[in-house]
Chain A
Amino acid sequence: MISPADGHTPLTALVVQGITMDFVGLRALENVNLTLRQGEILGLIGPNGSGKTTMINVITGLLRPTAGRIQADGADITGKPPHKIAQTGVARTFQKVKLFRELTVFENVKVAAVSVGMPNRRAKEQAWVALEELGIEAWSGRIAGTLPYGHERKVEVARALAMNPKFILLDEPAAGMDEEESAALLQILTPIPEKKNLGMLIVDHDMNLIMRLCNRLHVLNYGKTIGEGTPEEVRRIPEVVEAYLGS
Chain B
Amino acid sequence: MKDKPASTATRSHIITLLILLLPLIIIAAVTKLIGNVLFERVVITLFINLILVLGLQAFMGNSGILSFAHIGFMGIGAYASVLFSMAPQMKKLALPDLPLWLGHLQLPFLPSILIGAIIAALIAAVVSFPLMRLSDASAVITSFALLVVIHTILVHWKTVTNGPQTLFGVDRYTHLETSMCWAFIFIALAYWFKESSIGLQLRASRDEREAASTIGVNIILVRWQGFILSAFMAGLGGGLWAHFITSFSPKAFWLKETFVILSMLVIGGPNSVSGAVVGALLVTGAFEGLRGLENQINIAQILPVQLIGLTEIVLSLTMIVILIKRPLGIMGGREFR
Q: List chain A positions with a Cβ less than 8 A from chain B.
A: 60-62, 81-83, 85-87, 91-92, 94, 98-103, 106-108, 110-112, 114-117, 120, 123-125, 128, 140-141, 159-160, 163
B207 near A100 (CB under 8 angstroms)?
Answer: yes
User: Which of B210, B214, B271 is A102 in contact with, Cβ under 8 Å?
Assistant: B271
**Chain A residues closer than 8 Å to B215, beta-carbon distance:** 86, 91, 111-112, 115-116, 159-160, 163
Known: A102-B333, A114-B197. A86 touches B203 (CB 8 A): no
Q: List 9 A-B contacts (CB under 8 A).
A: A62-B214, A82-B214, A91-B214, A91-B215, A101-B207, A115-B201, A115-B216, A124-B6, A160-B215
Q: Looking across the interface, which residue of chain B has its beta carbon closest to that of A89? A: B216
Q: Looking across the interface, which residue of chain B has its beta carbon closest to that of A120? A: B197
* Cβ distance A240 to chain B, nearest Cβ, rounded Å: 30
Known: A83-B217, A100-B212, A115-B215. A106 touches B5 (CB 8 A): yes
Q: Looking across the interface, which residue of chain B has its beta carbon closest to that of A119? A: B197
Q: Looking across the interface, which residue of chain B has its beta carbon closest to that of A162? A: B215
User: When chains A and B are docked, how far (Å) is the Cα of A111 from the Cα of B213?
Assistant: 11
User: Which of A83, A128, A141, A159 is B213 in contact with, Cβ under 8 Å?
Assistant: A83
User: When chains A and B are docked, how far (Å) is the Cα of A114 from the Cα of B197?
Assistant: 7
| CB of B229 within 8 Å of the partner chain | no
Given contacts A60-B214, A100-B211, A115-B201, 19 further A-B contacts (CB under 8 A): A62-B210, A62-B213, A82-B210, A83-B213, A85-B214, A86-B216, A91-B214, A98-B210, A102-B203, A102-B271, A102-B333, A103-B203, A111-B217, A114-B201, A115-B215, A115-B216, A115-B217, A117-B216, A120-B197
* Cβ distance B223 to chain A, nearest Cβ, rounded Å: 13
Which of B208, B212, B214, B333 is most buried by chain A, counting CB atoms within 10 A of its CB? B214
Q: List chain B positions with a Cβ less than 8 A from chain A.
A: 2, 5-6, 197, 200-201, 203-204, 206-208, 210-219, 271, 333
Q: Looking across the interface, which residue of chain A has its beta carbon closest to that of B205? A: A100
* Cβ distance B209 to chain A, nearest Cβ, rounded Å: 9
Q: Looking across the interface, which residue of chain A has its beta carbon closest to that of B217? A: A115
Q: Looking across the interface, which residue of chain A has its beta carbon closest to that of B195? A: A107
B207 near A103 (CB under 8 angstroms)?
Answer: yes
A100 near B219 (CB under 8 angstroms)?
Answer: no
Q: Looking across the interface, which residue of chain B has its beta carbon closest to that of A117? A: B216
**Chain A residues closer than 8 Å to B197, beta-carbon distance:** 114, 120, 123
* Cβ distance A167 to chain B, nearest Cβ, rounded Å: 12
B206 near A83 (CB under 8 angstroms)?
Answer: no
Which of A86, A87, A91, A106 is most buried by chain B, counting CB atoms within 10 A of its CB? A86
User: When chains A and B are docked, how far (Å) is the Cα of A160 from the Cα of B216?
Assistant: 10
User: Which of A85, A114, A128 is B200 in contact with, Cβ under 8 Å?
Assistant: A114
Known: A62-B210, A94-B211, A114-B197. A100 touches B204 (CB 8 A): yes
Q: Looking across the interface, which residue of chain B has its beta carbon closest to that of A100? A: B207
Q: Looking across the interface, which residue of chain B has its beta carbon closest to that of A144? A: B207
* Cβ distance B7 to chain A, nearest Cβ, rounded Å: 12
Known: A99-B208, A102-B333. A111 touches B214 (CB 8 A): no
User: When chains A and B are docked, how far (Å) is the Cα of A227 from the Cα of B2?
Assistant: 46
User: When chains A and B are docked, how far (Å) is the Cα of A151 from the Cα of B210?
Assistant: 20
User: Which of A140, A141, A163 is B216 in contact with, Cβ under 8 Å?
Assistant: A163
Q: Looking across the interface, which residue of chain B has its beta carbon closest to that of A88? A: B216
**Chain B residues closer than 8 Å to A102, beta-carbon distance:** 203, 206-207, 271, 333
**Chain B residues closer than 8 Å to A116, beta-carbon distance:** 215-216
**Chain B residues closer than 8 Å to A92, beta-carbon distance:** 214
B206 near A107 (CB under 8 angstroms)?
Answer: no
**Chain A residues closer than 8 Å to B206, beta-carbon distance:** 102
Q: Looking across the interface, which residue of chain B has its beta carbon closest to that of A124? A: B6
A83 near B211 (CB under 8 angstroms)?
Answer: no
User: When chains A and B are docked, how far (Å) is the Cα of A46 from the Cα of B335?
Assistant: 46
User: When chains A and B are docked, how far (Å) is the Cα of A81 from the Cα of B201?
Assistant: 16
User: When chains A and B are docked, how far (Å) is the Cα of A186 from the Cα of B21?
Assistant: 49
A87 near B271 (CB under 8 angstroms)?
Answer: no
A100 near B203 (CB under 8 angstroms)?
Answer: yes
**Chain A residues closer than 8 Å to B203, beta-carbon distance:** 100, 102-103, 107, 111
User: Which of B2, B201, B210, B214 is A128 in contact with, Cβ under 8 Å?
Assistant: B2
User: When chains A and B are docked, how far (Å) is the Cα of A115 from the Cα of B218?
Assistant: 8
**Chain B residues closer than 8 Å to A112, beta-carbon distance:** 215-216
B5 near A111 (CB under 8 angstroms)?
Answer: no
User: When chains A and B are docked, how far (Å) is the Cα of A107 from the Cα of B200?
Assistant: 8
